[in-house]
Structure 1
Amino acid sequence: MEPFEDCRAVVFDLDGTLADTVGDLATALNRTLAELDLPPHSEDAVRGMVGGGLAKLLTRGLAAHNVLLDGAEHEAMLARFVAHYAGNPAERSTLYPGARQTLNVLREAGIACGLCTNKHEPIARDLLDALGIGSAFGAVQGSETGFPRKPDPACLIHVVKTLGASPETALMVGDNATDLKTARAAGLKGVVLVTYGYSVTPVTELGADLVINHLHDLVPALALPERAQ
């Protein structure tokens, strides 16, 4: 495909795109399950449950034990889950190879970077700072801040506007069908999906404009080497 030469902004997903966060999510989930006298899930099992935010992860974690809580009970345990996770969101989480370097190249090229995630925003910001990339983003939008969760496009549209860009000059980089649907609904110029994330369906089957195996592959797609010189 032709490079996105007129791209002015790139909005990233967080979990499964920029960082592998499953280790800390599994720790927090298992601490929550222990409070219900339920056995822990393996990290690999939790990896298959991630997507859509902490509430959905808790629901899936409980369902794997054939447990369904009513509304009040679920909300109470969700609050416990959020507290466990917020207390230590970055002990085992790591950036994917090329994440830091790619963000640096984008910044040097004058490309504005944003983040749109279904993770609770305060936790997302703490995690970004702990990973040393918080300053790379001109806009960070997470859940619990008045916007509906992805795939509703409102959060993504807000990030693009905050970056001073328009949908026609912005890309979304994510790892699953939710990111793709969000970007399409927002009218973005294009959608790039990574192959190494948490998608249950192979991303090559989702219809993205570009599929990459490594975040470094985003640079030639944007024709950034020449622009950054």
Structure 2
Amino acid sequence: MAEIRGLLFDKDGTLFDFQATWGGWAADLMTELADGVEARAEDLAARIRLDRPARRFHPDSILIAGTTDDAVEALLPGLPHLSYEGLYAKLIESTLTIPPAVATPLAPLMDRFRSAGFVLGVATNDAESAARAQLDALDVTHCFDFIVGADSGHGAKPAPGQCLAFCAATGLLPHEVAMIGDSTHDLYAGQAAGMVPIAVLTGPAGSPELAPHAAAVLPDIGHLPAWLDLP
């Protein structure tokens, strides 16, 4: 795999275990948005395909690969007293303090990649500010040469804008970069940009869904060194 010089990571479901990070946050947020009214909280959860008692998202939830705008559009009809801008701000604010559950210890893994000469980036459909806050909480922001969110001006996955922006910022060619993600949105974005799409199984999607679109399917990002033939 000597031709791979850059590693571009999705965030949720890739760097972070999706359900462990976001399931409980969403369940608590639905209760908060509903002012503690159980029926209203269940209605909101249904709109984003969240199993509140289990504190887990259903595999078809819009929030798995969607943007903050997607979440607002899904929830707003159940919250007519809120404005679009007000709900958007509330969602962003609530994500800034969420404790991320890593898929595998990140600092030593990213240090290993950097020591091997790889250029690293994060491309997420979350807001850039939320991504940076979560990476800051784990003291790994400095490991990444480029961090882009759906609100950074390069669009959202599955469009290739974020991937192409990483290349423009780092000088790498698309075929020199592996796009690593847990959803078809990530894989489609990488393919459209001309990158090597790599799937991981730390999100809700399984191998049967991901394998047709990936050069490899790995249990988690901790298996990347072996795939890259790192010593």
Match of 1:33 in 2: 33
RMSD: 2.6
Sort the Cα spacing of 1:129 and 1:143 in 2 relative to 1 into closer, same or farther, 3 A: same
Q: How does 1:4-153 map to 2 (within 5 A)?
A: 4-20=1-17, 21-23=21-23, 25-26=25-26, 29-30=29-30, 33-35=33-35, 37=37, 38-39=40-41, 41=45, 42=52, 43-45=55-57, 49=61, 50-60=64-74, 62=75, 67=77, 73-86=83-96, 88-90=97-99, 93-153=100-160
| Amino acid aligned to 2:14 | T
- State the shift of 1:32 in Å: 5.3
Gaps of 5+ in 2: 46-51
Structure 1 position 207, deviation (Å):
2.4
2:122 is paired with a residue whose SS is strand
- The 1:25–1:120 alpha-carbon spacing in structure 2 relative to 1, beyond 3 Å, is farther
Of 120-129 and 143-152, more deviation after overlay is shown by: 143-152
Letter in 2 for 1:10: L
Q: Evaluate the alpha carbon distance shift between residue 24 and residue 6 of structure 1 in structure 2; reply closer, same or farther with a 3 A threshold.
A: same
In the TM superposition, what whole-angstrom CA distance separates every residue of 1:110-161 from its partner, at most 9, and x where no partner exists? 0010011111001110110102211110000112122211111111111122
State the match for 2:212 in structure 1: 206
Gaps of 5+ in 1: none
Give 3-state SS (helix, strand or coil) of 2:124's partner: strand
Q: How far 1:59 moved relative to its partner?
A: 4.3
- Fraction of identical pairs, as percent: 27
Matched ranges for 1:208-227 at <5 A: 208-225=214-231
Q: What CA distance in whole angstroms lies between the structure 2 residues aligned with 1:6 and 1:131?
A: 30
- In the TM superposition, residue 33 of structure 1 has moved relative to its aligned partner by 2.8
Distance (whole Å) between structure 2 residues aligned to residue 127 and residue 220 of structure 1? 27
Look up the equivalent residue of 1:9 and give its one-letter code.
Answer: G
3-state SS of paired residue (1:79): helix
TM-score, normalised to structure 2, is: 0.80
Distance of aligned partners of 1:81 and 1:8 in 2 relative to their CA distance in 1, 3 Å threshold: same
Partners of 1:145 and 1:205 in 2: CA distance: 29
SS in 2 for 1:11: strand
Using a 3 Å threshold, how does the CA distance of structure 1 residues 211 and 18 change in structure 2: closer, same or farther? same
Q: 1:28 to 1:36 in 2, by over 3 A?
A: closer
Report the secondary structure of 1:119's partner residue.
coil
TM-score normalised according to structure 1 size: 0.81
Matched to 1:135, the amino acid is H
User: Which shifted more, 198-207 or 9-18?
Assistant: 198-207
SS in 2 for 1:39: helix
Residues 178-221 of structure 1: CA deviation (Å, up to 9, x unaligned):
00110011011x11100121327744443200000132211121
Determine the C-alpha separation between the residues in 2 that align with 1:55 and 1:28. Answer: 20
